[in-house]
Structure 1
């Protein structure tokens, strides 16, 4: 009886051994690794020098009082996007700085206050982009009233003064870029993600801007 059982076990082992050998020899199943996404195709665009930038002071500038002096530095910001090849290269709200280069206060006989400001630079991603241009502002004088008063009361016309020169926040002033600005942007064939494409700055002889996005 024991010999019969042993024989059956031996036969079963012999029958299974080729299957086990094949399973042991079979290579592991291949694991599919997804291919890395292809890098977007990029190209360069250049904002030429002398491109117009509409700016405004952050705070009202006025010749009234003694706060404003020649050499006074003031903060400014762009009022509109600056576009190039369908991309926003200088966004609305970009901050910068200007300087009061000359001023006179209002005076007697209807003399109005005057001032001149220059536009110095914009801050794009920590880089200063040089600007050129200036603006001269005059207060509204009272020349007509002064002449009439002089005829009527003589020396008392000296008490008739002009108005202070004022540049208010929201007043549109026009500066220009001093140098060419180079940007890297996705090529037109690149895939748009959520409707937004963002570029990165590239080195250029001139100052470089930080962000360029396609217009909506």
Structure 2
């Protein structure tokens, strides 16, 4: 009897061990994860910038290839979320410069807005401007417009973009955005347009008018 009980225990233990080995060998069934929605700040989004130093053709303080600093002048939002905070650093570059010369020649320069320093990432932006020192406006190259009250005339024969001048840049490509968990961007409401009344079309009977045969 005792031997039979021992044999039964050994058999059960062996069966349990075998079952455990079989369970460990069964692959785990993978389940397709739900894709997270793709959210991004679209290319072409306008970004208002403010230059933080005066850039001028006067003297030898600036030359072609020099970079200058700007900051984002206002929060750039996606829905209710701030994607690019006010005060984010930006960088521009002088791509062409000529100083004032004899016979009334004024100083001129072209500048290009290059990128934002958003955390540890550089975000490319677009915006090219030309400044002339003969009183002309800060003109644009490529369809980007100067922003705010700073888009007025600059006097003087040396080309100068003063500290505080606002320039408008645009986002070069879509910028992926990681929203807080569970957050969504509400779709923009559709603007209803009042329907125009339809004018009734006169109905002709084909009968000749009075006095006609």
Would the TM-score normalized by the shorter structure come out above 0.5?
yes
Equivalence for 2:116: 122
Matched, 1:165 2:133: no
Matched, 1:59 2:53: yes
Contact 2:93/2:114 (<8 A) preserved: yes
Matched, 1:81 2:78: no
Q: Which runs of 5+ in 2 are unaligned?
A: 1-35, 137-155, 185-213
More helix by share: 1
- Out of 98, 103, 110, the residue aligned to residue 109 of structure 1 is 103
TM-score, length-normalised on structure 2?
Answer: 0.56
Contact 2:71/2:89 (<8 A) preserved: yes
CA–CA distance in structure 1, aligned partners of residues 176 and 116 of structure 2: 15
TM-score, length-normalised on structure 1?
Answer: 0.55
Matching of residues 149-160 of structure 1 within 5 Å: none
CA–CA distance in structure 2, aligned partners of residues 94 and 56 of structure 1: 10
Contact 1:116/1:137 (<8 A) preserved: yes
Q: Which runs of 5+ in 1 are unaligned?
A: 1-41, 143-161, 190-216
**The residue matched to 1:185 in structure 2 has which SS?**
coil
CA RMSD between the two structures: 2.1
Residues matched between the structures, number: 129
CA–CA distance in structure 2, aligned partners of residues 140 and 68 of structure 1: 18
Matched, 1:70 2:64: yes
Contact 1:112/1:141 (<8 A) preserved: no
Contact 1:71/1:100 (<8 A) preserved: yes
CA–CA distance in structure 1, aligned partners of residues 87 and 120 of structure 2: 14
Rg larger in structure: 1
CA–CA distance in structure 2, aligned partners of residues 43 and 173 of structure 1: 33
Equivalence for 1:134: 128
